[in-house]
Structure 1
């Protein structure tokens, strides 16, 4: 193929494309579209030390997932039903972007992921003089983007690349795992 992607990754994108029209609510979107794709992106979705659902923040909010590396929250993921567009006319939904950025601001987490399982948006929380919807690092619509191009865009969401984003700013994850979450069991 020339792109260096493993066939299982491309097959997962194709599976998401085909299955998405049969998914009708947010919970089904999380289980059948988002979590399997996160796993292909290198996240251990069955490890609560890495992907934790519905964790309560200090503001008493519950983002759909927090992604952690070495016990440190590195991104919030806000899920929407596959039937709700998070990208409209080439732009991220301002309402959803503001909701996601609110989670990030409140906890000091630099990255947020907004997705309906088919459309994926990676956003920076802390960017001066910009509205939340202007903080997009990358976005991709798996239904309308060529398969290889979609796979290339999704690489930004890998565990490795999220970790590297923080390293660019001198954060070596795991050295000081101090954060404001508490688990409710």
Structure 2
């Protein structure tokens, strides 16, 4: 099993475990750490290299931050906006928020996730 397969399997198991315990609230930060970052890392991005992955990325200091910017040659190429596990991703606010960040920064690719979708 390669690293990505292992990370996906582990995240699926975590999601199932979290969903069996409805009294536990899984907020955005915990979702990012437990479900999103393992996948980013397994895809080959170095989570500790600021030339590759930036958290709370702002193109300018006055901009609202996007949760992750994945960079190639120090240029943002993909924005990932995270929501807490189980958050309604169909809410147009979230897509509009993410697309707005990308438009302002000139980034063509975006992803919106709650770690399970």
TM-score by length of 2: 0.83
SS of match in other structure, 2:6: helix
Residue 70 of structure 1: aligned partner: 73
* Deviation at residue 103 of structure 1 after TM alignment: 0.3
Matched, 1:18 2:13: yes
* Deviation at residue 84 of structure 1 after TM alignment: 1.0
- Aligned 8 A contact 1:25 1:83 in 2: no
Residue 134 of structure 1: aligned partner: none
Structure 1 or 2, whichever has the larger Rg, is 1
- Does 105-114 or 56-65 show the bigger shift? 56-65
* Deviation at residue 74 of structure 1 after TM alignment: 0.3
* Deviation at residue 36 of structure 1 after TM alignment: 0.7
SS of match in other structure, 2:80: strand
Distance in 2, Cα, partners of 1:41 & 1:7 = 11
- Aligned 8 A contact 1:78 1:114 in 2: yes
Matched, 1:117 2:95: no
- Residue of structure 2 aligned with 1:103, choices 101, 104, 111: 101
5 Å-filtered alignment, 1:81-100, equals 81-86=84-89, 92-100=90-98
Unaligned runs of 5+ in 1: 1-5, 87-91, 120-185
* Deviation at residue 112 of structure 1 after TM alignment: 0.7
Residue 82 of structure 2: aligned partner: 79
5 Å-filtered alignment, 1:31-70, equals 31-58=33-60, 60-70=63-73
Distance in 1, Cα, partners of 2:69 & 2:6 = 26
Q: How many residues align?
A: 109
SS of match in other structure, 2:57: coil
SS of match in other structure, 2:49: coil
Residue 22 of structure 2: aligned partner: none
RMSD: 1.7
